[in-house]
Structure 1
Amino acid sequence: MPSHPRSSRLRRGLLAALVAASVAVPVAGAASPAAVPAPAPNVHGPLRGAAPGDLAERYAGTRADIVAAERAASRHGDRGRAAALHAMADPDRHFLAFDGRDGGRGVEVFGDLARAERIAVLVPGAGIGVDHYWRLRNGSLALRQELGERSAVVAWLGYRTPETVSPASVTSGRAAEAAPELVRFIRELTRLRPDARTTLLCHSYGSVVCARAAHGLRVAGIVLYGSPGTGYRNAAALHTTATVWAGRAGGDWIADVPHIEVRLPFAHIGFGTDPVSPAFGAETFAAGSGGHSDYLKPGSVPLRNLARIVAGTAGSAETPGEHHA
């Protein structure tokens, strides 16, 4: 059956906008502000172990790297970046890794990683960086609270995320750069904590990153939420033994992004099959009626269901169409 003319026009219009954004790369790049300078980190490489002493030593070392980056940002005159880094350097915060260069990277732990039986690794999407890191932190704190004791949440800002509205956000280049780093981190984590149940929670563009990394990961679940697509036709194409989950909130604008993939001489635009569609073949869960940034909102349906998936009690998760009592 042919598609409705209005729907077809909308899809063509959105596609045209994506193409226009992709060819604007040189202009957008020229208008970008210079990166805030930061020294190379002193702490790098794999962890020696996950015992409390090993982790404490690591956290102290990365804190020193954050302080050094804060000083560099202050000398550069970027008070906003300096303030963000000052908050990250709080002695009560725990970073496994930090690199302030090229926009900044960080891996923060919420909870007791040494004793956690359930570990959730959050992979953020577009628009999340050091300057807006509080968004990822707030969601991580809410999930840790929902999960309760014997759990840990890891906020993995291990890649250069694209701007929300940018050519990079509609192509897989950043995901291709990030995927090997995510594979390395998850392999290290599972080596250190082999008995813990580890789940990847992948928001928005982060789902493109997780899909790229999926075949190299030994995790219990891969959850795609608020996803524009993955760049793969279906869940089977991810070649993973993990259970693949997908959810999208009723008020999420990402639903209006056309699920197409266009191959151009200089880029592939779009990410193909909608992960919540039957054609993709993922397990689906109810994600409430919120917006694109509401999945980890305290007390929300998606937060409750994401926690159930992480805990391995997903049989009690609400599915789309059900109403929570």
Structure 2
Amino acid sequence: MASRPHSHRLRRTLLAALVAASVAVPVAGAVRPAVVPAPAPTAHPPLRAATPAAFAERYAATRRDIRAAERTAAGHGDHRRAAALHVMADPARHFLDFDGRDGGRAAEVFGELPRAERIAVLVPGSDTGLERYGRLRAGALALRRALGGRCAVIGWLGYRTPGTVSPEAATDARARQAAPQLRRFVATLRAARPGARISLLCHSYGSVVCGRAAPGLRVADLVLYGSPGTGADSVAALHTPATVWAGRSGGDWVAAVPHLRLHLPFTTLGFGTDPVAPRFGARIFAAGDGGHSDYLRPHSVALANIARIVTGRPLSPAGRHA
């Protein structure tokens, strides 16, 4: 019979493997895009004046950065990246930030940010990058339409997301790197639009990023959906003044992820308590029966309830239950 210490080590090893396998769901052919060179972006001055002219100047400067990155990608022979950047440089699109280096970073605005009274910041999960940016943009557009007037949405690709099928997807290493960037971005929005109500909408691994950034962050709502966990055992452990919401759709594979944390010699695997579990303490909203990538699908139950949260409207009775 195996000794008790040996059994304990075996159990930890098996649980670690289970967490890694569950978070890294089978996504055939999912690979990280190659790192493509890009010039350093323009150093923008702080957005102190929240006027349409000030934002237009920022958007124009960022567009020049995108075009410079497009030329560099084309010269490097990465025509897929160059094509993606060419589309992003459309004058009708508005980016607060852009950096083409290290896989790419971007913060795109949907709506009239200088006049917005409600601002939703989308924090995406794994496998989101410049080549796969369309999914984040589609969700942001659908949410903007659902919100109506005096609202703006920002798609915040402010960190290097992990690959869904990768060891990083089972640890908070990328989230630890991303959290300071998210805090700085929210501070920039606060300075530019001090009277606006800001909500963070955190999808999948993005909820781990939000969990790391949450302590003391001045936002009205922290909305977790498709979340494997936040790295915290409860809402109280997030140390946030925000109202914390959580929702999970009936067809989301993330429900099968083991909600635990294993402290190993060089890392920690897993993200702790399930955000939709009663003991976590979040306010639960109905999210329908869609899949892991369907929360912001047009006309979906999840989109309707997330829009209600952002606009501060009460949820319908059906929206108060998982």
**Per-residue deviation, 1:44:** 3.3
Q: Which residue of 2 aligns with 1:97?
A: 97
Letter in 2 for 1:279: R
Matches within 5 A, 1:73-152: 73-152=73-152
SS of 2:274's equivalent in the other structure is coil
> Contact conserved, 1:21 with 1:166, CA < 8 A, in 2?
no
Q: Which residue of 2 aligns with 1:170?
A: 170
**Per-residue deviation, 1:197:** 1.1
CA distance in 1, matches of 2:33, 2:80: 14
**Per-residue deviation, 1:305:** 0.2
Residue segments in structure 1 that go unaligned for 5+ positions in a row = 1-10, 23-30
Q: Which residue of 2 aligns with 1:252?
A: 252
Q: Which residue of 2 aligns with 1:291?
A: 291
CA distance in 2, matches of 1:21, 1:37: 33
CA distance in 2, matches of 1:58, 1:69: 17
Closer, same or farther: CA 297–34 of 1 in aligned 2, 3 Å: closer
> Contact conserved, 2:22 with 2:258, CA < 8 A, in 1?
no
Closer, same or farther: CA 33–306 of 1 in aligned 2, 3 Å: closer
**Per-residue deviation, 1:194:** 1.5
Cα offsets for 1:109-130 (capped at 9, x unmatched):
0000000111100000101011
**Per-residue deviation, 1:32:** 6.7
Q: Which residue of 2 aligns with 1:190?
A: 190
TM-score with structure 2 length normalisation? 0.90
Closer, same or farther: CA 312–123 of 1 in aligned 2, 3 Å: same
Identity across aligned pairs (percent)? 65
TM-score with structure 1 length normalisation? 0.89
CA distance in 1, matches of 2:228, 2:70: 34
> Contact conserved, 1:179 with 1:210, CA < 8 A, in 2?
yes
Matches within 5 A, 1:41-60: 41-60=41-60
Cα offsets for 1:170-190 (capped at 9, x unmatched):
100110011011111101111
Closer, same or farther: CA 269–162 of 1 in aligned 2, 3 Å: same
CA distance in 1, matches of 2:273, 2:87: 39
> Contact conserved, 1:183 with 1:216, CA < 8 A, in 2?
no
Letter in 1 for 2:247: G
**Per-residue deviation, 1:50:** 1.7
SS of 1:144's equivalent in the other structure is helix
Q: Which residue of 1 aligns with 2:231?
A: 231
> Contact conserved, 2:48 with 2:191, CA < 8 A, in 1?
no
Structure with the bigger RCO (C-alpha within 8 Å, sep 6+) is: 2
Q: Which residue of 1 aligns with 2:17?
A: 16
Cα offsets for 1:111-154 (capped at 9, x unmatched):
00000111100000101011100110000000000001110001
Q: Which residue of 1 aligns with 2:28?
A: none
CA distance in 1, matches of 2:122, 2:253: 21
**Per-residue deviation, 1:46:** 2.7
Letter in 1 for 2:150: R
Closer, same or farther: CA 278–83 of 1 in aligned 2, 3 Å: same
Letter in 1 for 2:178: A
- Higher mean C-alpha displacement, 269-278 vs 308-317: 308-317
Letter in 2 for 1:140: A
CA distance in 1, matches of 2:119, 2:32: 36
> Contact conserved, 1:36 with 1:73, CA < 8 A, in 2?
yes
SS of 1:273's equivalent in the other structure is coil
Q: Which residue of 1 aligns with 2:199?
A: 199
CA distance in 1, matches of 2:197, 2:257: 33
Cα offsets for 1:266-311 (capped at 9, x unmatched):
1100001000000100000000000000000000000000000000
CA distance in 1, matches of 2:282, 2:42: 41
Letter in 2 for 1:208: V
SS of 2:107's equivalent in the other structure is strand
Count residues in correspondence: 304
Closer, same or farther: CA 32–145 of 1 in aligned 2, 3 Å: closer
Q: Does 1:304 align with 2:300?
A: no
Letter in 2 for 1:81: R
**Per-residue deviation, 1:18:** 4.2
Closer, same or farther: CA 293–19 of 1 in aligned 2, 3 Å: closer
CA distance in 1, matches of 2:167, 2:109: 31
SS of 1:130's equivalent in the other structure is coil
**Per-residue deviation, 1:243:** 0.3
**Per-residue deviation, 1:14:** 6.3
Q: Does 1:261 align with 2:261?
A: yes
**Per-residue deviation, 1:15:** 3.5
CA distance in 1, matches of 2:190, 2:200: 12
CA distance in 1, matches of 2:284, 2:13: 28
Closer, same or farther: CA 21–142 of 1 in aligned 2, 3 Å: closer
**Per-residue deviation, 1:99:** 0.2
CA distance in 2, matches of 1:48, 1:297: 35
Q: Which residue of 2 aligns with 1:3?
A: none
Cα offsets for 1:172-230 (capped at 9, x unmatched):
01100110111111011112211111100000000011111111311110000000001
Closer, same or farther: CA 12–281 of 1 in aligned 2, 3 Å: farther
